[in-house]
Structure 1
């Protein structure tokens, strides 16, 4: 027996049953169910609407669809980031649909008698409650992202936790409960409002940055391609940079944690690339591969960057720094602190794209102090993802040659006057 999937192909019932089982075992699913219960308890207790059928319906809806809501919120922000390249635009991309959702929910519950009229009036009615709830949600979700950047949790699950905190305060605050109303308003206008101010200051720095100093260019470079070179040249010229320091992402911290927990593994090798895959221990609601699941080994990516820079005649303007111990212990926050220690008093600029990884780097840089962002809206269709899928002509000639030799599994690779041993795509310099 088989079920018909959305692609028109049949899916064995046993496979479908396994997918449902993993979904039900997911910590995010259980957290969402708890969120639905918490929604009911918070509003029923605060507003005295224990038997209200609309509140029960809304709570069930929250319990079932909260993980999807968290994912859609993250995707809305990423879409806005890619369209406009400003932090404020990305946060508005998350804010606007959440505000619309909250307006509908509060209106329905007030219309259905699930909410206390006087309590709602104390926070500005439906519009005020929705506005404060959405602002508070932005603040708590930002804190979740702050923790993700430090290797704590993941984007979707941390978003869920932020929403749960907000649900409790919103339920009590909209009822006018002593202390809860003030905490609700503070979380919204204080934390949520401050979040938009911080983002606006970052956007102002990005367009009114002084020239001179050192550029920071962090990314996976999986692999290094023509647009990376073009970005470096343009950033150096436009910002008048003395040099740029590249520090590749060795293994993303999300993946380090997931490997340790046995949630993902290297499933196979293809043309020197490692193909990551989820295991049965994986959380079905977690996006483990926001930048893809195909990776060149970190040693190989570093070698390709160095070879491409030398070929382009940019080795004197671009330094490839790999502070492995610092990165694994403290992430890019530690790397930035180390660069500041080595270059005291020097103005820093961060070069980044608008994808998930690029905006995460922007957030880290903003949190590390007064760093000037240099954001690029990529429209050239050149991407590491396309290269990994077989696109040609997107990498510097020397990178193309090395990747071809790796795909042939040649034991020794010689390029640019350097010689590397090749062990299933892992390049180690020396014969």
Structure 2
């Protein structure tokens, strides 16, 4: 192949011919060719600019192309690109110490993985080893990753093709039901959890695994009291609480971790994505001290070739440094208030908007055909002509975000400006005007 840069069409054609795209029939994929990115924008080889309103996969929290993170990657590559996980090196040492300072409560020991799915895989493995129990409780409106166990833990329809999968996963009711505007009353949700525990046998349950704030299944924010209630239930029955903060962590909700909003310390905390702002792959499993101490004399049966990868650890340290130097966690909270105002304006203007939800810069606009019945604009695990039109309009106008089922995600980088927020919401506003006519009178 020549050294001449590929055109946009060549990039797409070769990628479709020789590589596989996820969660899609390959003949239907229509990827955006990307050449470079900076701040809140990325660009195609032929110069089209997109406002990244989803931080790619809710992950480029520090924005694209931060020179401080790039410099750290370059310097680490030149000094030590790889060391096997039986060795210790400075980035590993420093990152463990830093995360211990940032994580809630006494979470101060970490097992580093390649990403979020592997973090969740190892979290349940650790829970089973520590408790000697086998069952894991998880919810339907959840996504925990694409690997075997993480897919089994996932509730949404992406798990269907992977079934039957690992044994021992038990579903419990969601705190926010599908096609409902509001979450269930906290007392009812917690009573449902207790009932499942009764039927399954508390002494058989190793852990309850939840996304603290549910991501791709709707940006579902637990009402006050729910997380505290789960913590109390777990304590009562000797069950571990695992919080998946792969999406919600590192400032996305306006706190370092979403659990910080409810002052809850889980037994195990999983993270990835914003840990390195996705500049390189890295995930982590955070453990409370008593769980880590269990493995002082008991073998820790877990391992990965790229555990504690020097490049990942160095990148994470630089990324956390950017969050701190630029006050991005606090900025996400402040900009989140601005995003709420944009959401409210859409709700007041467009009858197709059934609900909006956000916490920090983690947001969602949910479209309905009827506000009274809350009939979704697209069915569960499906789409509609209206949602396809929304997706096409956003893409044409240069706004990149997820349009999934009846929802539009609003998850810009934590560096987003007021002007960029206004630009993105103006495009969404114009798209919703196409859909209002489908609302039932």
Higher RCO (CA < 8 A, seq sep 6+): 2
TM-score normalised according to structure 2 size: 0.27
Q: Which has the larger radius of gyration?
A: 1
Structure having the larger proportion of residues in helix: 1
